[in-house]
Amino acid sequence: MKGTEYKRIYLKFQIDNEILLGLQKLFSYYSYSDIFYKIEGEGLALYLKQLNLTDFRKKIQHIKRMFPNKSEIFDSILNEIEKIKSYGLKGKKRIFVGYDKERKVKERKRKELERGAYFYARGHNFSRKNNPFPDEFKNKIIVGDSEEVLKKLPDNCVDLIFTSPPYNFGIEYENHKDGVNWDKYFDKLFAIFNECIRVLKYGGRIVINVQPLFSDYIPIHHIISNFFMKKKLIWKGEIIWEKHNYNCKYTAWGSWKSPSNPYLKYTWEFLEIFAKGTLKHQGNKELADITADEFKKWVYARWDITPEINMKKYGHPAMFPEELAKRVIKLFSFKGDVVLDPFNGVGTTTVVAKRLGRIYLGIDISEEYCKKAEERILKEENRLL
């Protein structure tokens, strides 16, 4: 890091004597090696290297009390500094320059190769040739067992699969027995996932929302991830869906204030993300509909989203909220892409896919749930008219 390097931010406003006095006072607390200011042109230039922001906020409050008529100006200075989202940390200070260079790994690509990045996915036999999605399956809700229905689709024709399988908790679904022996559960689940992998395009993604049954000590999210990795898909990452659900039901007897068998509680679920063949999904940049703000927010892999509150209304016991589907679809697919949900329930994935201009296919074993999914699509169509 060069000693003369600073991050410069510029604020344009009329500077009068009162502001000048405030600035002099504020920056008298700091040395040139942290932050300094210059009056440049029609405004104020700040030169930032490092700053203890908590302390800076206090100083700003102090200056605002001294110059109450200029509160807005001093708030805007603080705002501009708070807006900077890339920085390093050293003790209590935010480091605004050079923090990334210090950490930079030289010859990153070669080192990745040597380590064997996603070694488990090497030597796959996935065809690179993608196929068109058949017209008869476009924008359809189909009642049936996904293992059977998916067999009717060609290889490599779906861009994104987003789904949440039955969790085997013993939930009362309309037409599916939830809560079978775990071997049986995984056999069926993996038979359906095998079909999902086959129909996924080269460069397509599959995103699985799961909540492990902690009371059975079954880490479904790890078992599912191992399955996909053995099938040579690349584990692209994991998103924590923080539900702030503090009403976790289970507490083992004797767990209170005793190390004998404390029971860990979770207020979140997981989204496991896999890519077939390559991490890069081909698409026309013009058809990316995610905004800069959404992108910046959503690539942080902890999403605070309230659970679905309308489950009674839809008559389904285990829906995910539309916001979750919206983020997954916008972050991982382009407009016009094909989105599939093989456990579509009452159609949260499909209605959001429709809203976002994707081609959708939803499959569920329950006729009742599929009817609801169709009704939601119809409502969406009427809304769009």
Report the alpha-carbon distance of residue 112 to residue 30 in Å, rounded. 42
For ligand SAM, the closer CB: 225 or 366: 366
212 binds ligand SAM (CB under 6 A): no
> What is the nearest approach in angstroms of ligand SAM to the Cβ of residue 344?
6
Q: Do residues 51 and 116 touch, judged by C-beta distance below 8 A? A: no
Q: Which residue in this structure is represented by tokens 């079978």? A: 180
For ligand SAM, the closer CB: 140 or 176: 176
> What is the nearest approach in angstroms of ligand SAM to the Cβ of residue 143?
9
Cα-Cα-Cα-Cα dihedral sign, residues 139, 144, 148, 152: negative
**Contacts of ligand SAM in 333-372 (CB under 6 A):** 343, 345-346, 348, 363-366, 369
Annotate 82-96 with DSSP letters as a single string. HT----EEETTEEE-
For ligand SAM, the closer CB: 121 or 363: 363
Report the alpha-carbon distance of residue 367 to residue 347 in Å, rounded. 12
For ligand SAM, the closer CB: 9 or 143: 143
Pairing state between β 7-12 and 43-48:
antiparallel
Provide φ and ψ at 350, rounded to 5°.
-70, -35
**Contacts of ligand SAM in 151-170 (CB under 6 A):** 164-166
| Strands of the chain, DSSP E | 7-12, 35-40, 43-48, 50-51, 88-90, 93-95, 140-143, 158-163, 200-210, 234-242, 268-275, 302-304, 338-341, 359-364
For ligand SAM, the closer CB: 133 or 343: 343
**Contacts of ligand SAM in 291-320 (CB under 6 A):** 316, 318-320
Of residues 202, 153, 181, the one with CA closest to residue 342: 153
Count the site residues for ligand SAM by CB under 6 A: 20
Q: Which residue in this structure is represented by tokens 């809700």? A: 141
> What is the nearest approach in angstroms of ligand SAM to the Cβ of residue 74?
48
> What is the nearest approach in angstroms of ligand SAM to the Cβ of residue 200?
17
Q: Which residue in this structure is represented by tokens 């399956």? A: 137
> What is the nearest approach in angstroms of ligand SAM to the Cβ of residue 342?
6
Residue nearest to ligand SAM according to CB distances in the complex: 345
Report the alpha-carbon distance of residue 335 to residue 329 in Å, rounded. 9
Among 34, 80, 145, 380, binds ligand SAM (CB under 6 A): 145
> What is the nearest approach in angstroms of ligand SAM to the Cβ of residue 281?
22
Tokens representing residue 125 in the block: 């036999």
For ligand SAM, the closer CB: 48 or 346: 346
> What is the nearest approach in angstroms of ligand SAM to the Cβ of residue 220?
12
Annotate 215-270 with DSSP letters as a single string. GGTB-HHHHHHHHHHHTT-EEEEEEEEE----------TT-TT-TTSPPP--SEEE
For ligand SAM, the closer CB: 34 or 145: 145
**Contacts of ligand SAM in 169-198 (CB under 6 A):** 173, 176
> What is the nearest approach in angstroms of ligand SAM to the Cβ of residue 366?
4
Q: What does the binding site for ligand SAM look like in residue numbers (CB under 6 A)?
A: 145-146, 164-166, 173, 176, 316, 318-320, 343, 345-346, 348, 363-366, 369
